[in-house]
Amino acid sequence: MEQLKKECLSEDTWKLIQERKKINAKLTKTTNIENKVALRKEYEQLKKQVKKAARKDKRNWMEDIAQRAEEAATTNNTRELYKISNLLINKKYNNGKLLYNKEGKLLMVTEEQVKR
């Protein structure tokens, strides 16, 4: 199953994440105590690397977004500026379907919509 990838993380970070998942799978399958200790150390090192790389990637992504917003503001491109602000806010709008009653009349009151 392909995981939905965040756009702020780079390919190198995703490779580190996949490698960390493989080590974790090996760690859960192994029963030898010595191997578990070695795998646990390797897993902890990869975990630190993933966190560090993710923070760096997110910082670079935010700087890029800020630069794009500045360019849009200086060129009076309000559409791009609005898109960037919504991307940073991460607010999803619900543009739901309109509800009609059995006669085909549009239901405007929420109580009527709930009854429907």
List, for residues 55-93, the tens digit of each pLDDT value.
999 999 989 989 999 999 999 989 998 888 888 887 666
Answer whether residue 13 shows pLDDT above 50.
Answer: yes
Q: Which tokens sit at 103? A: 């006669």
The answer to whether the beta carbons of residues 80 and 65 sit under 8 Å apart is no
Confidence of residue 21 (pLDDT cuts 50, 70, 90): very high
Q: What percent of the chain has pLDDT over 90?
A: 48
DSSP 93: P
pTM score > 0.75 for this model? Answer: no
Question: Maximum distance among all alpha carbons in the chain?
Answer: 73
Confidence of residue 2 (pLDDT cuts 50, 70, 90): very low
